[in-house]
Amino acid sequence: MFCILIFFCFWHLVDGVKIVTVMEGDSVTLHTDVSDIPIYYKHYIEWRFAAEDTRVRVISLDVMTGEIIYYNDQIFIDRLQINNQTGSLTISNIRTTDSGLYHYQVHRFREYFNVTVYARLPIPVITRYSTCSSSSSGSSSSVSRCSLLCSVLNVSDVTLSWYKENSLLSSISVSDVISSVSLHLEVEYQDNNTYSCVVNNSFIDQTQHLDTELCQTHPDIVHCYSFTEAVIRLVVSAVVGVATVAIVVYDITSRRAGKKRRTSQSVPE
Ligand SMILES: *[C@@H]1O[C@H](CO)[C@@H](O)[C@H](O)[C@H]1NC(C)=O
Ligand SMILES: *[C@@H]1O[C@H](CO)[C@@H](O)[C@H](O)[C@H]1NC(C)=O
Ligand SMILES: *[C@@H]1O[C@H](CO)[C@@H](O)[C@H](O)[C@H]1NC(C)=O
Ligand SMILES: *[C@@H]1O[C@H](CO)[C@@H](O)[C@H](O)[C@H]1NC(C)=O
Ligand SMILES: *[C@@H]1O[C@H](CO)[C@@H](O)[C@H](O)[C@H]1NC(C)=O
């Protein structure tokens, strides 16, 4: 029940399997509990990792000589550390692909750790846009209202919500990998209530509070974007990132023929 983590860490025991939840980029230490094992059996410890299509030995430690052997180095390049006294394993800069079942073996004793690595969530961005009062469609109501757009880029399996104080105003949920999610909100010009935009997945959430200044200025003197333009600006800034993802995904897809492509892009309009 130890935990060396920068952000979050939850340990439970389910049917003898320790459940470990860790956020992408953090470090986690899987602690061995070999105190009950006679000393003469503790000279050798070995860690293995199993995921959907991987089942490999990753590291072994000869306690007597201090010799450490790394196997299948390409998975955990320079990210594994083993404590040469206890055999505890530290995985640093953890990746979502490191999720899976880990176990160590000392003599005949095994202990399992079910590790789930969840993706970091970006903080949502709130931008103001307005139908300019000079535009043909500009009605008088658009001048006295403040149109806001909350967006997050490059996320999967998230819910994006607007809150007024603590009450939910609206929300949108997306699954799959998506380039941008946006949710619109209109508030009164000079509305002094507290609004916030929250993005969450099943593990964490990230909140952006509406800067009250944003809706204090008169629409005429803020930069005018149409809704479409506001979305396009966000999407354009994400295109480089998404292109990278697309190339990586394409690369993986072409190597593993038959695996379904999992990138989808949502570009409103
Ligand atoms: C164990 O690790 C420590 C610190 O990394 C090192 O100083 C020590 O020499 C190691 N012991 C053995 C037996 O390898
Ligand atoms: C690990 O935990 C996850 C989430 O609780 C679960 O979906 C998965 O089936 C578990 N895997 C194993 C091998 O126990
Ligand atoms: C909101 O605050 C501003 C500045 O403090 C004030 O001028 C405005 O009248 C307030 N609006 C409302 C609706 O109370
Ligand atoms: C976000 O949080 C809400 C409320 O806690 C929850 O119902 C929803 O399932 C969460 N979204 C995701 C994608 O897990
Ligand atoms: C999108 O996510 C991928 C993988 O998580 C990451 O490599 C890439 O840098 C991200 N792109 C942006 C624009 O955040």
Residues with Cβ within 8 Å of 93's Cβ and at least 6 positions away in sequence, in order, are 25, 27, 79
CB-ligand 1 contact for 206 (6 Å cutoff): no
C-beta 154 within 6 A of ligand 2: no
List, in sequence order, every residue forming a beta bridge with 102; answer none if it has no partner.
Answer: 49, 113
Q: Phi and psi for 197 in degrees, rounded to 5?
A: -115, 130
CA atoms within 13 A on the CB side of 47: 29
Which of 60, 64, 84, 88 should be mutated for ligand 1, with most atoms under 8 A from CB? 84
Query: Which amino acids bring their CB within 6 angstroms of ligand 5?
Result: 153-154, 238, 241, 244-245
Which is more confidently placed, 103 or 237? Answer: 103
Q: How far apart are CA 46 and CA 39, in angstroms?
A: 16
Q: How many Å lie between the centroid of ligand 4 and the Cα of residue 23?
A: 17
Predicted local distance difference test score (pLDDT) of residue 178: 76
* Residue with CA at minimum distance from ligand 2 atom 13: 101
- Residue 190 CB–ligand 3 contact under 6 Å: yes
- Protein residue whose Cα sits closest to atom 9 of ligand 3: 190
Q: State the average pLDDT over residues 187-194.
A: 84
Helix (H, G, I), strand (E, B) or coil at 231: helix
Asked if 92 and 79 count as a contact pair (C-beta separation under 8 A), the reply is yes
Q: Is 106 helix (H, G, I), strand (E, B) or coil?
A: strand
What percent of the chain stands above pLDDT 70? 70
Residue 32: pLDDT over 70: yes
| More confident position, 4 or 129 | 129
Please indicate whether residue 156 or residue 101 has the higher confidence score (pLDDT): 101
- The mean per-residue pLDDT over the stretch 71-94 comes to 91
3-state secondary structure labels for all residues of 81-146 = EECCCCCCEEECCCCHHHCEEEEEEECCEEEEEEEEEECCCCCCEEEEECCCCCCCCCCHHHHHEE
Cα diameter, the chain: 85
Ligand 4 mutation target, pool 159, 162, 167, 197, most atoms within 8 A of CB: 159
Flag the least confident range among 57-61, 136-140, 167-171: 136-140
Q: What's the CA-to-centroid distance between 158 and ligand 4, angstroms?
A: 7
54 alpha carbon to ligand 1 midpoint, in Å?
A: 30
Residue whose CA is at the smallest distance from ligand 5 atom 8? 241
